[in-house]
Amino acid sequence: MNPGVRCQSVDRSQTLRKILTQDLPLESVGPGLRRTVRQAVGSGQESLLLAAAGAVVRELVRQDLLVRARLEGEDSSSQAYFLSRRDGKILDLSPLYQLRPTSSSSPSEFANPDTAQTHSLLEVDGVLGAMEEAQDLRLGDIQTGDVAAILGNILQLLRGFTPQLRLGMVLHRDLATDQTAPGIVSVAQAQGQASWLTLRDQGHSVWIPQASELPPGMAAVVGDNPLPGGDLVAVAIPIREPSEEGSEEEGLEAGLLFVMASESWGRDTLLKVGGRLARFVSNRWRHQRDVNLIIHTDALTGVNNRAFFDKHFTIELERARRTERPLTLVIGDIDLFKKINDRYGHQAGDRILQYVARRLKEELRRIDQVCRIGGEEFALILPDTAPEAGRDVMTRLLNADLHEEVLVDGKKTDVPITLSFGGISYPADGSDAFELFRKADAMLYMSKDAGRHQCHFWDNSGDHFRMLPDSDRNS
């Protein structure tokens, strides 16, 4: 054997051995598969190591413990990253794909829908199997926190694997926009010409034997791109919101997935395929939500991080512009935090950051967003909040009794906490995200310079609105 070839083979075997023994969570697979891994590792044969690693990965994907992920800036054709749901780590399993033997009878290949005469469940299973193995999660997508954008990405993924179908969604809540989610409309937009939407019991699927019974938004999905094989038929399948991790209860119905096809598919087959596609949507939605939590959550405080703020503030500003609703942004900073750190220690400082984050969330609505954007700096995104309502929120926060108990040299010490704030409102104070943030930041520093523990709201006339806690106003 050529020494160079032998060296490459040893390197590949060592790479596969590392993946099996160090990277993959073998404790999550059955004893039979673990025994196979031990035998492959003991043999050192590349073919056995590759087969064992592939079997483990397939089992972990089946259990939803590994999720295919795509990192921004990486070439998805040559890299294979997976997110481990057990510990949140990103695993590079590219060697498994680079070493995998090619075959013209790959199970991911499936028949051309234009030449297929029948649509058996076995054929469809091949399509969906390939689709499920290609769940590319777009980490850091600019709109990963927006439900309509998440579902729009899922639809785009499904359409790539089901060219013989036409897919769309109708959501119960008004989350859809033409800009972020083509093929998704709200039930309010759809029910005008499809009265059966209001009569259907939630949780029930619907067979639609005529295209005329489709909501207008779904009929537009087909448009001028008819399907071969006869007249158009469709099914509407409930989509479930993703349930919490470990919960046995199904999530609430979020809307309907419309699966449209030619009449040659038949009612029963299309209902079964639609059911499986709807489950895929919910699973993919859950995966995206879990990834969002990992990449958009501040590890110390549990609130949103700066990356989330930079993306989500732009999204909320666009939503406010589109719906002609107000939006308020407030930036807050813990007063004299460096002195707190120097006096009580960094552990006490971390505890105070966690306390402040928790109290800010408690004082705000569920639709509001608390983001840690710097060391001791927080941003509050308040949708549908006019200037007067924003001032009411700040009155509450300035008058909140904030203090946290910390340990110093083994003794409990109560630390009083105050914050300074700066705020702006859209559309009164501007329309550009950077401009609005700059103005709110300027108001924060005005509050700091004026003595701390107060808030200033921007006014375009230069007469900025100053707010003090009740104790200072009354003194």
Q: What's the confidence (pLDDT) of residue 181?
A: 63
Residues 398-422 pLDDT 10s = 999 999 998 888 889 999 999 999 9
Angle formed by the axes of helices 433-449 and 306-323, nearest 10°:
120
Average pLDDT over residues 239-252: 71
Is residue 7 situated within a structural domain? yes
Domain that holds residue 328: 306-473
Q: What's the confidence (pLDDT) of residue 140?
A: 40
Query: pLDDT: is 215 or 440 the higher one?
Result: 440
Is residue 113 situated within a structural domain? no
Residues 172, 263 within the same domain: yes
Dist. CA 307–CA 298, nearest whole Å: 9
The overall average pLDDT reported for the chain is: 80
CATH of residue 355's domain is: 3.30.70.270
Whole-model pTM: value is 0.57
Residues 136, 94 within the same domain: no
Dist. CA 454–CA 124, nearest whole Å: 63
Radius of gyration of the chain (CA): 28
Residues 284, 135 within the same domain: yes
Phi-psi label, residue 64: left if phi above 0, alpha if psi -120 to 50, beta otherwise: left
Residues 373, 330 within the same domain: yes
CB atoms within 10 A of CB 255: 26
Residues 288-300 pLDDT 10s = 888 777 888 999 9
Query: What 3-state DSSP class applies to 176?
Result: coil
pLDDT beyond 70 at 134 = no
The secondary element (H helix, E strand) that includes residue 256 is strand 253-262
Is residue 117 situated within a structural domain? no
pLDDT beyond 60 at 115 = no
State percent of the chain over pLDDT 90.
39
Label residue 215 exposed, middle or buried (CB < 10 Å: 0-12, 13-18, 19+): buried
pLDDT beyond 60 at 76 = no
**How many independent structural domains does the chain possess?**
3
Q: Which amino acid is at 61?
A: V
Average pLDDT over residues 324-341: 96
| pLDDT band at residue 475 using 50, 70 and 90 as cut-offs | low
Residues 172-227 pLDDT 10s = 764 544 444 677 877 665 555 555 666 777 788 999 998 888 887 787 777 656 66
Q: What's the confidence (pLDDT) of residue 108?
A: 30
CATH of residue 249's domain is: 3.30.450
Dist. CA 135–CA 133, nearest whole Å: 6
| pLDDT band at residue 124 using 50, 70 and 90 as cut-offs | very low
Lowest-confidence range among 97-101, 197-201, 248-252? Answer: 97-101
Residues 456, 333 within the same domain: yes
pLDDT beyond 90 at 274 = yes
Q: What's the confidence (pLDDT) of residue 242?
A: 81
Query: What 3-state DSSP class applies to 85?
Result: coil
Give the E-state strand segments of 178-224 in sequence order. 184-186, 206-208
Q: What's the confidence (pLDDT) of residue 311?
A: 87
Q: How far is CA 193 from CA 27, 188, 218, 377, in A?
A: 54, 11, 11, 50
Matching residue, tokens 């089901």: 162
Beta-bridged to residue 383, according to DSSP, are 327
Dist. CA 131–CA 48, nearest whole Å: 27
Dist. CA 399–CA 453, nearest whole Å: 10
pLDDT beyond 80 at 429 = yes
Residues 170, 259 within the same domain: yes
pLDDT beyond 90 at 251 = no
Is residue 120 situated within a structural domain? no
Is residue 94 situated within a structural domain? yes
pLDDT beyond 70 at 275 = yes
Residues 82, 56 within the same domain: yes
Residues 282, 407 within the same domain: no
Q: What's the confidence (pLDDT) of residue 106?
A: 31
Q: How far is CA 216 from CA 225, 379, 446, in A?
A: 15, 40, 53
State percent of the chain over pLDDT 70.
76
pLDDT beyond 60 at 468 = yes
Q: What's the confidence (pLDDT) of residue 50?
A: 85
Is residue 198 situated within a structural domain? yes
Is residue 107 situated within a structural domain? no
Q: What's the confidence (pLDDT) of residue 420?
A: 97
Query: What 3-state DSSP class applies to 294?
Result: helix
Residues 347-386 pLDDT 10s = 999 999 999 999 999 999 988 999 999 999 999 999 999 9
The secondary element (H helix, E strand) that includes residue 167 is strand 166-171
- Domain boundary at 79, 99, 119, which? 99
Residues 10-28 pLDDT 10s = 577 888 888 888 888 888 8
Residues 284, 321 within the same domain: no
- Domain boundary at 296, 322, 354, which? 296
Residues 311, 455 within the same domain: yes
Dist. CA 414–CA 333, nearest whole Å: 20
Q: Is the separation of the CB atoms in 420 and 443 below 8 Å?
A: no
- Domain boundary at 266, 296, 326, which? 296
Dist. CA 34–CA 29, nearest whole Å: 7
| pLDDT band at residue 59 using 50, 70 and 90 as cut-offs | confident
Q: What's the confidence (pLDDT) of residue 245?
A: 58
Residues 291, 260 within the same domain: yes
Q: What's the confidence (pLDDT) of residue 97?
A: 65
| pLDDT band at residue 388 using 50, 70 and 90 as cut-offs | very high
Residues 314, 441 within the same domain: yes
Is residue 415 situated within a structural domain? yes
Q: Which amino acid is at 384?
A: D
Matching residue, tokens 């013209």: 104
